[in-house]
C-alpha cells in the first residue's frame, strides 16, 4: 500500500537533538492518526521482539511522548547524532498493522524525515482524509516535499534523483492548473498568520482522484510520469541533492 513520506529541515529555533521537542512537532499529526479507524488510538515503541513491542505506549492523550517512552529513547540514543522514533499501532491482524518512523539528525540534508505506513490503511483512510493528513503534515512541519506512493513506484518514476508524483505529491509552491495540466486535482494547503489571516503555503498535486492510485496500472503511471516531466520542465520538482 502507498506510504506517506515527507522530507524537511529543522527550523532555526528547533535545533535540539532531544526527543521531546522534536516529537512535540508531530502532536497534531499523531492526534489525527489516533482518531482514525484505519490507524487507531494505541501506538507503541517498536522493539526487537513482539513482546518488547508492546512494552511502552508511545504517546499520551495529547499526542506527546509518554515519560517512559522518552526515557527509553534517550537511553537508546544517548550521544548519537542521528536519532529516530519508530512506533506501531499494535495490530497483528492481516492488513491492520501500521507504523510511523520519524528520523532527525544533527547534520545531513534533509535534516529530518517522517514516514507513515499501513498495510492497507493509507488507501483505506480515504481520499479526502489522505489529503487532510498531508495538509496537517505540511502546516506543522513545513516539508520540502511529501510523496504518497508504494516503494515499487520508484522503479517507474521518470527521474531517479527526484521525488516521484505517485498518487499525491505535496510541494511548497502555489501551483495552478495551467502549470500542471495532467493533474486530476490541485489542493491548496493553507496556514494562518499570527493575525489569523490565511495564506497558501503549498499545493497537493493529485494524479488520480476517481480511484486509488496503482503503480500496476499503466494509465496511472503515465499520468504521474507526465506530471513529473511537467514539473521538472518548470524547475518545480527538486533534486534530492538540493533539498
pLDDT for res 12: 60
Domain residue extents for the chain: 1-143, 151-236
Minimal CA–CA distance to 30: which of 17, 13, 42?
A: 42
For the stretch 2-35, what's the b/e string if a residue is b when 16 or more beta carbons lie within 10 angstroms of its beta carbon? Answer: bbbbbbbbbeeeeeebebeebbebbbebbbbbbe
pLDDT for res 168: 97
Minimal CA–CA distance to 40: which of 84, 96, 93?
A: 96
**Tens of pLDDT, residues 90-129:** 998 888 899 999 999 887 778 899 999 988 767 778 889 9
Low-confidence ranges of the chain (pLDDT < 70): 1, 11-14, 121
Q: In terms of DSSP bridges, do strands 44-45 and 82-88 run parallel, antiparallel, or are they unpaired?
A: antiparallel
Q: Which long-range contacts (CB under 8 A, 24 or more apart) does 162-166 make?
A: 162/228, 162/232, 162/237, 162/238, 162/239, 162/240, 163/237, 163/238, 163/240, 164/224, 164/228, 165/205, 165/207, 165/224, 165/225, 165/227, 165/228, 165/231, 166/2, 166/207, 166/213, 166/215, 166/224
pLDDT for res 96: 87
pTM of the full structure:
0.93
The packing angle between helices 127-141 and 27-34, to 10°, is 160
pLDDT for res 192: 92
Amino acid at each position: 500500500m502507498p506510504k506517506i513520506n515527507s522530507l524537511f529541515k529543522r527550523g532555526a529555533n528547533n535545533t535540539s537533538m532531544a526527543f521531546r521537542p522534536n516529537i512535540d512537532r508531530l502532536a497534531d499529526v499523531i492526534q489525527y492518526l489516533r482518531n482514525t479507524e484505519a490507524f487507531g488510538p494505541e501506538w507503541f515503541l517498536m522493539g526487537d521482539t513482539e513482546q518488547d513491542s508492546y512494552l511502552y505506549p508511545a504517546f499520551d492523550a495529547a499526542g506527546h511522548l509518554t515519560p517512559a517512552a522518552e526515557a527509553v529513547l534517550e537511553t537508546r540514543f544517548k550521544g548519537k547524532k542521528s536519532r529516530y522514533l519508530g512506533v506501531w499501532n499494535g495490530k497483528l491482524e492481516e492488513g491492520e498493522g501500521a507504523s510511523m518512523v520519524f528520523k532527525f539528525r544533527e547534520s545531513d540534508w534533509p535534516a529530518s524525515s517522517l514516514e507513515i505506513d499501513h498495510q492497507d490503511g493509507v488507501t483505506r483512510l480515504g481520499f479526502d482524509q489522505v489529503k487532510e493528513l498531508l495538509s496537517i503534515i505540511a502546516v506543522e512541519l513545513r516539508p520540502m516535499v511529501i510523496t504518497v506512493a508504494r516503494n515499487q513506484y520508484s522503479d517507474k518514476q521518470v527521474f531517479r534523483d527526484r521525488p516521484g508524483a505517485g498518487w499525491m505529491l505535496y510541494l511548497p509552491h502555489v501551483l495552478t492548473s495551467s502549470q500542471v495540466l495532467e493533474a486530476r486535482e490541485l489542493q491548496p494547503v493553507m496556514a494562518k498568520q499570527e493575525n489569523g489571516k490565511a495564506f497558501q503555503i503549498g499545493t497537493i498535486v493529485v494524479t488520480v482522484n476517481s480511484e486509488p492510485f496503482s503503480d500496476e496500472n499503466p494509465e496511472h503511471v503515465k499520468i504521474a510520469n507526465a506530471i513529473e516531466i511537467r514539473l521538472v520542465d518548470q524547475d518545480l520538482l527538486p533534486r534530492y541533492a538540493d533539498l
